[in-house]
Chain A
Amino acid sequence: MKKQKSPLLNSGKKFFRSGRYIDYSFTVPALAFIAIFMIYPIWYNIVMSFKEINISNLTDASQQKFIGFANFSAIFADKYFWNSFQNTFVFVLFSLVFQFSVGFLFALYFNKQFRGAKWMRAIILIAWMNPGIITGAIFKWLLAGDIGIFNYLLMQIGIISEPINFLASTQTSLASVILGNVWIGIPFNMVILLSGIQGIGNELYESAVIDGAGSVKKFFYITVPMLKPTIMVLLLLGFIYTFKVFDIIYAMTSGGPANSSQILPYYSYEQSFKMFKFGEGAAASCISFVLIALLAVVYIHFSNKEEMEA
């Protein structure tokens, strides 16, 4: 990758003389798209987070003064920011663990050739294709304390004697939205892992069988190592996807009761569009951005190490 070791000026000359700028000019549409629709909003968001922007000066940019880190210190002093910060990590961790492990089980299951495997696989994907707001509304009904079918089933089986107020209790609301999010994420994990598994050549398993490996050994010594790149990408995407979840929480609990199921994106939304504290909302978004960017860097670090080892 790092072929050009020459000083910048030299390489610049070479760049124009060789006519390579023509090649690069083909990237302009893509770059323009990225600049307008990605870089600019992010930049604007960062700028906003350092400005005092509220309802009274929103429409008049000349009144929006730079106030340094005041927005950040304001949200750091807000206990509900830390509450949503902590909730975000609980939400992401548990969502990822369950989405991934259940998704993996499904992937192994559907890797077997049996009658109906194909259409069942397709049906499971519906969970992922459903808009989050609809899934949220369905789970709100399923988990309702008085009329919810979850409570009904649990009571019929005899696991509980009193209905649990899944969504109406500060103790269980976060777990409930995690449950909804896991359900959404399972098919995605399954599909990606399944395609990974199907990409592993049969001859590996065949030779392992000759060497006397059982199915457990085949799984841990062939399937998992061969899937490692897939798993890494999947976990990263899962992290990003989970970190920004908004719709399902909006539909199920609106972050409540008493902010107990609020995560960072929801906090940011409320600051900006409910309380019109746009600067503070932008600051909270920036924190989300930094966290995800940090994770991306860690990921690159590990994946590079991997490449060098390989």
Chain B
Amino acid sequence: MFKKTLALLLAAALAVGITSCAGGTDGKDNSGNANNGGQAETKELNLWHYWDSESQQALLADMVKSYKDETGGPTIKISYIPYSEYIQKILVTAAGGDLPELFIYDGNSTATFVEAGILADITDRINESGVMKDTLEGVVAEHEVAGKLYGFPVYANCVALFYRTDLIETPPTTWDQLYETAKSVATDDMYGFAMAGGAGEDAVFQFLPFMWSAGEDLDNVAAPGTVEALDMFSTMIKEGVMSSDTVNHSQEDARVLFETGRVAMMLNGPWNVVPLQENAPDMEWDLAMIPKKADGEFASILGGESFGIGKDTDIDGIWNFVEYLVEPERYQEFLKGLGQLPADSVLAEDPYYQDDPINKVFIDQLKSARPRAYGGKYNEMSKALQTAISSAMSGDQSAQDALNDAAATITPLYEEFKASEGK
């Protein structure tokens, strides 16, 4: 009897998704050894990333190598960690107190990482060295928590409107025009407009520009401008102008609709330009700013990746490498190699971006891009907004009711964040 019970309990235990894997013990054991070894010999610095493309990895490797060869600086060991394990790995290592000196992360996570005690405060160094002196305002704000800077951008991106030039002569600039244009080009085989709406950050990422354009914010997501925007999308879905599966679409799904000729307009970012060109080389399309509310301003959302410096690591050592890396000419080449946009107003003046019609729109749109700088509990706010968006888009609730529910969760979190900013 007992044996059987035990066996079954163990079987049951195996079955349950245990969330305790974020514990810190094994990280500690490894890190202790690594540290001792490192200090005795010439100090080796670490750079962590999750870039899986070979060309991007080669850029990092070249940068590190030329740094060592040209300046005689220390070896920087590059470690690739798949994105799916990245944050977990960093959190575990932080518990063991052996963070990498330099690591790449999603710039939007700055506040969360600061709260987790992962990022070093580098305000003074950034100000002294002028690393961010020409950086776009929104990008600076993204790296700022309670007045201190905790990272600097590798590159920035944002969302813009893609449209088929063979179907649409003048792209819409206001919400009303967006709706009218989408409706006029929609046929049985073609949607007018596509965006991400799935459960996940994608939906919020593409929805926030509309909220901001209406002059609203997360303090009250049930405000009229935000409701109007969500209502417009729900209406387009109901009328068949947008796919009824929008609530299940990521930004990549929107791109697939576009490149297979099933939608005339979509919201997307520069990272989907190359796949689009490769998969649909003959398609005629162009870019425009995200339509704004008639009496509002153009707005977009800031994405992109950043460099962070691990808390309690050898900041002096790694800062030499940072200064080497961000020397304008070298950095410009690095960014071009990556195929990404600079988060810097001076670098953006380069003809490489200004003379290229695609880059030009994104560079312009970037100026209106705002960060999701809402503190360490942004993910909770985002989740509530995701629920509201999908609830309204699936026709389960009206946009007003769905956003009322979301506001009940988001407003207190927003006020908590504002209060912490004031401190």
Number of A-B residue pairs with CB-CB distance less than 8 Å in the complex they form: 176
> Given A61-B95, A170-B396, A293-B9 in contact, is the A258-B19 Cβ separation under 8 Å?
no
Least CB separation from B3: chain A residue:
A1
Residues of chain B in range 1-39 having any CB-CB distance to chain A below 8 Å: 1-5, 8-24
**Residue of A243, A256, A277 ringed by the most chain B CB atoms within 10 A:** A256
Instruction: Give the A interface residue count (CB, 8 A).
Output: 67
Dominant SS among interface residues on chain B:
helix
Partner of A59, one of B5, B116, B199, B383: B116
Do B117 and A34 have beta carbons less than 8 Å apart? Answer: no
Residues of chain A in range 238-270 having any CB-CB distance to chain B below 8 Å: 240-241, 243-244, 246, 253-260, 265, 268-270
Taking CB atoms, residues of chain A closer than 8 Å to B21 are 41
Do B20 and A289 have beta carbons less than 8 Å apart? Answer: no
Query: How far does the alpha carbon of A288 sit from the alpha carbon of B379 in the complex, in Å?
Result: 24
Do B16 and A289 have beta carbons less than 8 Å apart? Answer: yes
Taking CB atoms, residues of chain A closer than 8 Å to B88 are 273
- Does B102 sit at the interface, judged by CB under 8 A? no
Taking CB atoms, residues of chain A closer than 8 Å to B199 are 253-257, 259
Least CB separation from B246: chain A residue:
A168
- Does A26 sit at the interface, judged by CB under 8 A? no
Partner of B16, one of A39, A270, A288: A288
> Given A61-B24, A256-B390, A282-B20 in contact, is the A296-B116 Cβ separation under 8 Å?
no
Dominant SS among interface residues on chain A:
helix
> Given A168-B245, A257-B394, A300-B5 in contact, is the A44-B20 Cβ separation under 8 Å?
yes
Write the B29-68 contact mask toward A (1 if CB under 8 angstroms, else 0). 0000000000000000000000000000000000000000
> Given A56-B376, A300-B8 in contact, is the A145-B245 Cβ separation under 8 Å?
yes
Residues of chain B in range 395-421 having any CB-CB distance to chain A below 8 Å: 395-397, 402
Taking CB atoms, residues of chain B closer than 8 Å to A289 are 12-13, 16
- Does A285 sit at the interface, judged by CB under 8 A? yes
**Residue of A39, A42, A48 ringed by the most chain B CB atoms within 10 A:** A42
Least CB separation from A172: chain B residue:
B394
Residues of chain B in range 228-248 having any CB-CB distance to chain A below 8 Å: 243-248
18 contacts between A and B (CB under 8 A): A34-B10, A38-B10, A39-B13, A48-B20, A56-B376, A58-B91, A59-B91, A145-B244, A145-B245, A168-B393, A255-B199, A256-B247, A257-B394, A268-B19, A272-B19, A276-B116, A278-B19, A292-B16
Which residues in A have some Cβ–Cβ distance to B below 8 Å? 1-2, 34, 38-39, 41-42, 44-45, 48, 55-56, 58-61, 80, 140, 144-147, 163, 165, 167-170, 236, 240-241, 243-244, 246, 253-260, 265, 268-270, 272-278, 281-282, 285, 288-289, 292-293, 295-297, 299-300, 303-304
